A and B are shown apart, each in its own frame.
Chain A
Amino acid sequence: AQSVSQHNHHVILSEAASLELGCNYSYGGTVNLFWYVQYPGQHLQLLLKYFSGDPLVKGIKGFEAEFIKSKFSFNLRKPSVQWSDTAEYFCAVNAAGNTGKLIFGQGTTLQVKP
């Protein structure tokens, strides 16, 4: 069965620090990969996605993620976080060519201190 693992449950950073959130998945076939963000009191929003091509994808608000197929990883990065990045971050996987089902990781809560 497919699964997604996010390494960090709770991350606390100061503003301007660099961010890397880990995500690993288990699935042997072709995958579509996503990072979603949920700001306090708001709905899930797509940060970025990877379907094919360049494994380094750029998303909104300065976020980027790198797909490393050999490591089954899709880590999220941001060079310099802001207080407004405080939110919960979810990695998700879809088995390409299958239904639209997303398998989510358990989420990482990011707290950025001003």
Chain B
Amino acid sequence: EAGVAQSPRYKIIEKRQSVAFWCNPISGHATLYWYQQILGQGPKLLIQFQNNGVVDDSQLPKDRFSAERLKGVDSTLKIQPAKLEDSAVYLCASSPRGGTGVNYGYTFGSGTRLTVV
């Protein structure tokens, strides 16, 4: 089974620029998550999708971050404009079922490491 694919692996941008990350979950997985992992901290949920609907985006800084999941498959996370404190690894994860999701297991991607200079 192919894993969760993310691209790019690394990105360096200047502050105030925009950036987008892409995630392709495991085929058939209904639930998709974006997490932000700042160096020295554990991952923090930014947004959770169930198919193409948003379940939880309470910790997404909506003034600069946006995310979409077209047709309930791939997802894109965008930051515009970026700040220095956005430097982090952005992790995408998916799980096969709806509802709580965790009961059926998460699979994480390798992440995109963003450096804002």
Q: Which residues of A contact B72 (CB under 8 A)?
A: none
For chain B, residues 64 to 117, give those with C-beta under 8 angstroms from any C-beta of chain A: 91, 93, 95, 99-103, 105-106, 108-111
> Are the C-beta atoms of A51 and B103 separated by less than 8 Å?
yes
B66 to chain A, nearest CB (A): 19
Q: Number of A residues whose C-beta is below 8 Å from B?
A: 24
Is A68 among interface residues, defined by CB-CB distance under 8 A?
A: no
Q: Which residues of A contact B100 (CB under 8 A)?
A: 32, 94, 96-100
Q: Which residues of A contact B111 (CB under 8 A)?
A: 43
Measured as residues with beta carbon below 8 angstroms from the partner, the interface class of chain B is 20 to 34
User: Contacts A43-B109, A43-B111, A94-B102 hold; do A100 and B33 have CB atoms under 8 A apart?
Assistant: yes
> Are the C-beta atoms of A100 and B110 separated by less than 8 Å?
no
User: Contacts A101-B45, A104-B42, A104-B43 hold; do A46 and B103 have CB atoms under 8 A apart?
Assistant: no
> Are the C-beta atoms of B41 and A106 separated by less than 8 Å?
yes
Q: Which residues of A contact B24 (CB under 8 A)?
A: none
> Are the C-beta atoms of A42 and B44 separated by less than 8 Å?
no
Q: Which residue of A lies closest to B97 (CB)?
A: A100
For chain A, residues 1 to 23, give those with C-beta under 8 angstroms from any C-beta of chain B: 4
**From B43, B95, B109, contact of A100 by CB (8 A):** B95
A102 and B102 CA atoms in complex are apart in Å by 8
Is B56 among interface residues, defined by CB-CB distance under 8 A?
A: yes
Q: Which residues of A contact B101 (CB under 8 A)?
A: 99-100
Is B61 among interface residues, defined by CB-CB distance under 8 A?
A: no
Is B28 among interface residues, defined by CB-CB distance under 8 A?
A: no
A4 to chain B, nearest CB (A): 7
**From B33, B43, B55, B109, contact of A90 by CB (8 A):** B43
Other than the given A100-B55, A107-B41, 11 more pairs (CB < 8 A) read A32-B102, A42-B110, A43-B91, A43-B109, A46-B105, A94-B100, A99-B48, A100-B101, A104-B43, A105-B42, A106-B40
